[in-house]
Chain A
Amino acid sequence: MLRNIFAIARNTFREAVRDRVLYNLVVFVLLITGCAVFLGDLTAGNEDRTVTNIGLSAMLLFGVFIAIFVGVSLVSKEIEKRTLYTIFSKPIGRGEFIVGKYLGLCVTLLVNVAVMGIGVSLALVYIGASSLAASVWGAILLIYLELTIVTGVAILFSSFSTPALSALLTFLVWVIGHFSASLRDLAEGLGSDAARWLFGFIYYVFPNLSHYEFVTLAARGEVPPVSYIGGAALYAIVFNAILLAITIVIFRRRNLK
C-alpha cells in the first residue's frame, strides 16, 4: 500500500515539475530581490520588518494559489483525460490514489515553500537582518501547514464538483477559515442564539486557519514556541485526515467518465 502511494505521489510531483508549477519561484525570487534592494536603498529603519511581511505574505499567496489550482485539478484532470483507466486497472485502490495525489502535491508545495523561504532569508541577510533570517522559519513552517489544509480542501471539493466551482469554494473556505475564530468570538458577544449557533457551526466545520497566522509576529522577531507549532501540526494532521477520509468515501463510489 505504501509502495503504491509513494509511486503515485512521486509521479504527481514529476507532473508538477514538468507542468512548470515551480516556475512561479522565479517570479517570487525576482519579487523578493527587488523588494530587498529597493528597501535597502531607502533608510527607513524598519526595512527588515517590511521585507519579512512582504516576503511571507507573498509566500502564502503563491502557495495558496498553487494549492487551489493544482489541487482542484489533481483528480478531475485525470478523470477528464481518462488517464485513470489504466491506473485503476492496476492493483491500485481508489483510496491509495487519493492519498498519493495529495502527498505528491504536498511535496511540491514543500519544495516551493522551502525555496521561497531561502529567498526570504537571503534577502534578510542582504539587508543586514541576520537574526530574522533564521527566526522566520517558524512562521514559514506554519504557512506550509496551512497550505496542506488548503490542498486537502481543494481535493475534497474536486472529488464531486467541477474544477472552477471547486476553486471558488476552496478559496471561500480559505478566507472564512481565517476569520472563523474571530467571527465566533464576535457572535459570543452578540448574545443572539442564532448567530452563536451559526458561527459555532462555521467554527467547527471550517478549518481554523488563524492558528497559522504568524507573519506579523515573525516580522517583529518573535518565534512560535515548539509546543505551539506542535499543536498546529497536530491540528493540520487531524483535519487533513478527516478531509481525505471524506474525499475517499465520495470518490470510491464515483463512476469514471
Chain B
Amino acid sequence: MEHVIEIEGLTKDYEKGFLKKKKIRALEGLDLKVEPGQIFGFLGGNGAGKTTTIKILMGLIFPTGGSAKILGADISDVKIHSRIGYCPENPYFYDYLKANELMDYFGRLFGLETAKRKAVTEELLTKVGLEEKDWNRQLRKFSKGMLQRVGIAQSLVNDPELVVLDEPMSGLDPVGRREIRELIAGLRQSGKTVFMSSHILSDIEALCDNVAILRGGKLVATGRLDELLASEGGERTFEVNANGVKAIDLIGIPGSIRGAVVTEKPSGASIQVAGDEHLSTVLAEIKKAGGNVVSVQPVRQSLEELFVKETSGS
C-alpha cells in the first residue's frame, strides 16, 4: 500500500543567537509512515516537535537532515499542495479580509472557477459552524475559536486527499469541539486521510486509528491506539453511573470484584471498575438493587498514563 506520508530520519536544528550560533535540536531522526484512509494522531507534550514536523511537511521550514514524501512526492514539490489541506496551530489570516473573501482568495490560489469558489465557501463555512452573519465580517474582528473554524474551513477548499491539522480543537468551545470532531470523522468517511496533532487525549481517543507519540523530538511509540493501550498490560477502567440506588445498596460489588469502588452521588451512585469482564456483574447488581444505569464510560486514565509515561521520559 502506498503511504500518504512517509518520513525518514527527519532532523531539525533551530539556530539560536545571532553571533554565537547555538543549535537546538527540535527533531531527531523521525521515521513515520501514514497509511491512507485513516485519522492519524500525532501526540506529544509542549515542545515535543509536532509543529516543527508539520511545518517541514508543508515546506515552511527546511529540515537539517532526512527526507519526507507526501502522496508519493518529495515535500519540496509544491505542486503536490493542490491535493493537501493544512490548518496551522492558532491560525492567523489577512485580517483586512472578510471570511468569505479569504475563502475566495484561497479558492483562486487553487485555480477554482468563480461559481465553484462561491459554492465551496458557503458549504464549508456552514460546515465548520461559522454563523452566516459573520461570513461578511473582517477577520480582525474574529475571536480565537472563530478563526480556528475559518482555519479548518480553508484547509478543505480544494477537497484535499490529505488534511493536516495542527491542534484543530484548540480555542474551541465544547460545542465547537464536538462539531469539529464530527467533521473530522466525516473526512475519514469520505475516504480522506487526516494527520492531526493534539494533546487533547479524549479527542485522540475518539477519533484516531493510529497514533505516534513524540518526546523531545524523538519518536517514542507508534501504532494502533488500542494495541498501544493493550500492550500497557493495564485493564481499562470504566465508570458506571446509576440512579435510584444508594451506594449502601451496592455493597455487594466491592465484595465480589477486587478494586471496585462505589461512591455516593446526589442522584444515585457511581461505580469504578477495572476490566471489561466485570461490567456485566456491575450492571446486574444495579438492576437487582432497583437502580437504573445512566451511563457507562471508559475512564481516560489509560491513554493519559501512556501519554504521560511516554512524554515525561521517566
Contact = CB atoms under 8 A, between A and B. Distances in A.
Interface of A: 3-4, 7-8, 11, 14-15, 18-19, 81-93, 253, 255-256
Contact of B60 (A4, A85, A253): A85
A88 B94 contact: no
Given A7-B109, A86-B91, A91 B78 contact: yes
Q: Which of B60, B111, B158 has the most CB of A within 10 A?
A: B60
Interface in B94-151: 94, 96-97, 105-106, 108-111, 151
Nearest to A81: B92
B105 A85 contact: no
Contact of A19 (B96, B105, B110, B111): B96
Contacts of B91: 85-86
A251 to B, nearest CB: 12
Interface stretch (B81-89, B216-224, B258-266, B299-307): B81-89
Contacts of A255: 60-62
A92 B92 contact: no
B58 interface: yes
B55 interface: yes
Contacts of A89: 58-60, 81, 84-86, 88, 164
B20 interface: no
Contact of B110 (A8, A85, A90, A256): A90
A85 B158 CA distance: 16
Contacts of A82: 88, 92
Contact of B93 (A86, A88, A253): A86
A90 B92 contact: no
6 contacts: A3-B108, A11-B105, A14-B96, A19-B96, A83-B92, A84-B60
B280 to A, nearest CB: 50
B125 to A, nearest CB: 16
A90 B109 contact: yes
A85 B87 CA distance: 9
B120 to A, nearest CB: 14
A91 B82 contact: yes
A11 B102 CA distance: 10
Given A85-B58, A90-B106, 12 more contacts: A3-B108, A4-B109, A7-B105, A7-B108, A8-B109, A18-B96, A84-B60, A90-B82, A91-B80, A91-B82, A91-B110, A92-B109
Contacts of A85: 55, 58, 60, 86, 88, 91
Contacts of A87: 109
B79 interface: yes
Q: Which of A14, A15, A89, A253 has the most CB of B within 10 A?
A: A89
B272 interface: no
A83 B62 contact: no
B93 A83 contact: yes
Contacts of B164: 89
B88 A86 contact: yes
B81 A91 contact: yes
A2 to B, nearest CB: 11
Contacts of B80: 91
Contacts of A19: 96
Pick the 10 closest A-B CB pairs, nearest first.
A89-B86, A18-B96, A255-B61, A90-B109, A7-B108, A91-B81, A85-B88, A91-B82, A256-B60, A89-B58
A256 B55 contact: yes
B111 to A, nearest CB: 6
A84 B60 CA distance: 8
Interface in B257-306: none
A18 B94 CA distance: 11
B154 interface: yes
Interface in B50-78: 55, 58-62, 78
